[in-house]
Chains A and B, each alone.
Chain A
Amino acid sequence: MISLMFNSVATPFWEWQRCVEYNLWTPNHPLSYLTISAVARKKMARVLVGVKRVIDYAVKVRVKPEKNGVVTQGVKHSMNPFDEIAVEEAVKMKEKKLASEVIAVSVGPTQSQEVIRTALAMGADRGVHVEVPAAEYDLLQPIHVSKILAKLALDEKADLVILGKQAIDDDANQTAQMTAAVLDWPQGTFCNKVEKTDAGLTIAREIDGGLETIKTKLPAVLSADLRLNTPRYATLPNIMKAKKKPLKKVTPKDLGVDTTPRIEIISVEDPPVRQAGAVVADVDALVAKLKAGGHI
């Protein structure tokens, strides 16, 4: 969803082209002033960042013997790496005085508070923990989380929601997009670079063909991709300070969101073991082997 921002500054020619192409208000049209959203004028954004507690990326994941999930008991968890990038971006915006406040949100059981504390230690101002009991959490899907985040974004009067592009446990890559849809806000996904302009945001997105640059107005939902930034370590004085920052606890019911499971996990299995390759002496042997195997 691409929308154009108009402001009282003279607009370059190529933007005129886009205006005409998309059949939108041309700048300097008398009524365009009325369509300028309040944030187009210089105002600092309030940023909501979603952080998910996942099994640490360096840990070897094992399937439970009952084959109904992976082993999480006693396994080290940490913040989803893409969410770290999202937090870093939000904190950077605050440091550049483009954001006024950074709120870290996590949906999950009690332990999810650990990742909120990490976000606070990285520079977020306050945290919100949406408590979901463990059994329900196993079946929680992006459709539920997006509704929760959308409600919080409105309640907290956020101007910007930044999420990681996907979580490393489910690789869904859906929450940011769904959240934007629920809110009917523009979305900038797979962000490689985000610049705040008077008009809103200029975003470079990582796509298959390279980088696509789009402009959106605020409020918006962004999803952070790998090369957006390098997340900082939480340093000691900040880790101390984080313990004192406020952390609010709510439930999905408080937000009016129904988290009834919509899926059922039938089974979870290991991927097939990779077969060893074979080494052949020369090209003729290779061709013979391929023929014998029915590959050619």
Chain B
Amino acid sequence: MRRYATAVTLRQFAHTHTQAQARTHARKGTEATVVRTLASSASPLPELTQISDNVQRGNYAQLNDKDVAHFEQLLGKNHVLTEDLEGYNICFLKRIRGNSKLVLKPGNTQEVAAILRYCNERRLAVVPQGGNTGLVGGSVPICDEIVLSMQRMNKVLSVDEVTGIAIVEAGCILENFDQRARDVGLTVPLDLGAKASCHIGGNVSTNAGGVRVVRYGNLHGSVLGVEAVLANGQVLDLMSNFKKDNTGYHMKHLFIGSEGTLGVVTKLAMLCPHVSKAVNVAFIGLNSFDDVLKTFVSAKRNLGEILSSCELIDELALNTALQQFKFLNSPISGYPFYMLIETSGSNGDHDEEKINQFITQGMERGEILDGTVSGEPGKVQEIWKIREMVPLGLIEKSFCFKYDISLPLRDFYSIVDVMRERCGPLATVVCGYGHLGDSNLHLNVNCEQFNDEIYKRVEPFVYEYTSQLKGSISAEHGIGFLKKDYLHYSKNPVAIEWMRDMKKMFDPNGILNPYKMLN
């Protein structure tokens, strides 16, 4: 399937980073919402995915005026949109474009329940949408599904300083949630580049990873309770205010990572750790991947409990970012590998001593060649910016095949060299960066324009290679629409069959986020 064919026309678009794209609109008397606009008015629209990918529309009803009138009565005219829907129809990477004619913005759980009950009876397909920052087309319509936008449900209902438990609505923007938590000395245990636009509900639905998984673990551990609305309109209340609750099946986990196909998440209870008083960041240069691994082990041993992030960037990835974004200032250059190591602890002096010792030892052993270390918030931010701009630098001016794979740590980087050799002169840049701490590599293969030749070289080789090493073909981005065909590389047929049965049980009419995840 020529999924990437639609991107041929997008080659020339100008990307700016997520925060710059978010603009606050006021819509006809409702409160201000953040609407993501297109990168540039000059960028051409991708072709309708239904046409370009030859998608067979499911056996759903067609939307008619009576339906629209019903929703207008239910939500109020202001929260039912039938025009200017491009922002809701197009995915973040501008690869998928749906043809939805209706966007609904419910304000509370009861409205979501009423909407789904109606859609289930009428057999109307629905796509739940959060911040629309997903990278696998899981949050946009493929055909003419109704977009259920959680934008309005953006309140942080409560944050308890003592227990660390926060109750938040699914449409709350991650950065706003984090700000509220920080006001009482807590922080959200999740941090990713899209934080200024993504919704916590979307993060939970996709089990988002990010840069702090090595410290806080993934969302299965941090989410204490979920309130979701099922396809038939039933509200499934699995909210909990406690870390320990072994009563019955732990159903809340079904909604973490199921990408909106089993239910629409409306409320969450999350356990937020306390903000660390001292944050130190080291940005170091190394000569070989062997040294990287040795340094990683040393970091776990010597920094252990204060280690909060361990990221890898290779030379080409860094150079591309520095070339594209002139405002970036890298402390060092000219090394084949760079690592960004962050520590978060409660005592600045102790942490500084630990990290300085870790670096001194690394330098004495000849593994750490150069770099910088700082505890100053300004410098910490600037160094993190380098890491955050790396993925954006790679999609800036050329076509990019992006892969998000989990590989055994020893073979973590070998795939980059293998791909580089395999693609040869067809690729302009083959590089890798990622969450070393979680064995999660983001592999990028860039080329001037999409062409079949390089496409055949890259896929399905990447997935086969990953599968052979028993890795995951999608470590944190999820399956969505773009990776449906590759699910079998990481999950066996028995598991996939059971997933289908579960989907049928939760959503017999298949109205929730169709065409995604399972074929």
Q: Which residues of A pack against B, CB within 8 Å?
A: 56-59, 74, 76, 78, 81, 230, 232-237, 239-240, 279, 281
Is the pair B372, A234 in contact by a Cβ cutoff of 8 Å? yes
Residue of B nearest to A57 (CB): B378
A230 contact set on B, CB distance < 8 A: 329
Q: List 15 A-B contacts (CB under 8 A).
A: A58-B377, A230-B329, A233-B329, A233-B331, A233-B374, A233-B379, A234-B374, A235-B332, A235-B370, A236-B368, A236-B371, A236-B373, A239-B373, A281-B28, A281-B29
Complex-state Cα separation, A41 to B317, whole angstroms: 48
A56 pairs with B332, CB closer than 8 A: no
B469 within 8 A of A: no
A232 to B360, CA, bound (A): 21
Partner of A235 from the list B371, B376, B377, B381 (CB cut-off 8 Å) is: B371
Closest Cβ–Cβ distance, residue B82 to chain A (whole Å): 19
CB-CB under 8 A for A58 and B29, given A233-B372, A234-B372, A236-B363? no
A residues within 8 A CB of B381? 58
Given A236-B359, A279-B26, verify A76-B375 contact (CB < 8 Å).
yes
CA distance A116 to B368 in the complex (A): 26
Residues of chain B within 8 A (CB-CB) of A240 are 360
Instruction: Tell me the B314-369 residues at the A interface (CB within 8 Å).
Output: 329, 331-332, 359-360, 363, 368
Assess whether B331 is in contact with A235, with CB atoms less than 8 Å apart: yes
Q: List residues of chain A with CB within 8 A of the CB of B29.
A: 279, 281
Say if the beta carbon of B250 comes within 8 Å of chain A: no
Contact indicator A74/B359 (Cβ below 8 Å):
no
B244 close to chain A: CB less than 8 A: no
- Give chain B's interface residues, CB within 8 Å of chain A: 26, 28-29, 277, 283-284, 329, 331-332, 359-360, 363, 368, 370-381
Minimum CB distance partner of A276 in chain B: B32
A236: contacting residue among B329, B370, B377, CB under 8 A: B370
Shortest A82–chain B CB gap in Å is: 13
Are A56 and B376 CB-contacts (below 8 A) given A233-B331, A236-B359, A279-B29? yes
List the B side residues contacting A236 at CB < 8 Å: 284, 359, 363, 368, 370-373
Instruction: Please name the residue on chain A nearest to B383 by beta carbon.
Output: A233
Known: A235-B332, A236-B363, A279-B29. A59 touches B373 (CB 8 A): no
Contact check, A76 vs B363: say whether CB atoms are below 8 A apart: no
Taking a contact as CB atoms under 8 Å apart, the answer to whether A56 and B26 are in contact is no
How far is A239 from B374 in the complex, measured between Cα atoms in Å?
Answer: 11
User: Do A235 and B378 touch across chains, with their CB atoms under 8 A apart?
Assistant: no
Which of A56, A74, A234, A281 touches B378 (beta carbons < 8 Å)?
A: A56
Could you list 4 further interchain pairs (A-B, Cβ under 8 angstroms) beyond the known A56-B377, A233-B331? A81-B378, A236-B370, A236-B371, A281-B29
- Bound CA–CA A56/B381 (angstroms): 11
In whole angstroms, what is the CA distance A239 to B368 when docked?
14
Contacts of B329 in A (CB 8 A): 230, 233
Chain A residue numbers with a CB within 8 Å of B377 are 56, 58-59, 76, 78
Residue with the greatest number of chain A CB neighbours at <10 A, chosen from B283, B375, B376: B376
Residues of A within 8 A of B26 (CB): 279
